[in-house]
Amino acid sequence: MLNKKIHLEELLLDFNETILLKAMVKYGMAIWHVKNMYEHLLHTAGDRPFELEVSVDETDLPTSHAEHFYIACELKRLGVKWVSLAPRYVGRFEKGVDYIGDLAAFEKDIKGHAIIAQQLGPYKLSLHSGSDKYSIYPLVMKYTQGLVHLKTAGTSYLEALHTIADVDKPLLKEIYLFARAHYETDRFSYHVSAELERAPLPESVWDWPALITQFDAREIFHVTFGSVLTQKNPDGSFLFNERLTNVLKKYPETYARHLETHFLRHLRPFFEETTK
């Protein structure tokens, strides 16, 4: 691969020494780990089918097209079979909010990744932290031709809070106060940019459903869900978990309506692209 120039449709990948060595240093150990995990799955699964997704998205630096090509080629050389791959795209994919970045740059980026995935697979491109990234869904569908995995885990909890905002505002206020108190600790395991200073103070909130969609408050709610659901009182009972669950059981139609609206908003851009 050293000093080779590879043409994939209109994409040109130039593997000079610097680019190749950078790819090896950046992803070499990760590729070896994926190989070991794949062999473990083969041994453990036996005759049972399984699917493997490769993810290199939790990094500060984007995955270049050349690096994506290197990853896929090495995995194929090592005999790994996978169904989807999550590169680190340009821009920011933060929890529960829309894409942050230049759409023109993202379009160029996703187009190149899609070409590689189609030429070396085909396999799906995966969008991790993909919830609420409405501005990029049409571009993703345009270039992946439907070979995409949209990962939306986490936002069902936000829709549960949306339900609480409708029917039990005092409970949501308690959760919000707790979330604000735990945000600075819980945020360290996430890529988020919300700031407490920008989030509305509880005493100033009059429209609680609208709070769920305010950028900073939404991320604060999102990343503290683990603390909210596991926090216990001195007597061992849950502080919020059981009360939150009971409200959802009492108002299942309200929760279902919020979930339906939320997921249809995610699914429609993909369906509409396939019907054009």
pLDDT per residue as tens digits for the range 202-256: 999 999 999 999 999 999 999 999 999 999 999 999 999 999 999 999 999 999 9
- Asked whether residue 23 carries a pLDDT value surpassing 80, the answer given is yes
pLDDT for res 275: 55
The pLDDT value recorded for residue 141 is 95
**pTM over cut 0.85:** yes
Task: Please report, rounded to a whole number, the percentage of residues in the chain having pLDDT higher than 70.
Answer: 99
Reported as half-sphere exposure (CB side, CA atoms, 13 A), residue 172 has a value of 29
**pLDDT, position 274:** 56
Per-chain mean pLDDT for the chain:
95
Predicted pLDDT of residue 163: 97
Q: For residue 205, which amino acid is it?
A: V
The string of pLDDT tens digits covering residues 132-157 is 999 999 999 999 999 999 988 778 89
Residue 276 has pLDDT above 80, yes or no: no
Mean local confidence (pLDDT), 167-189: 97
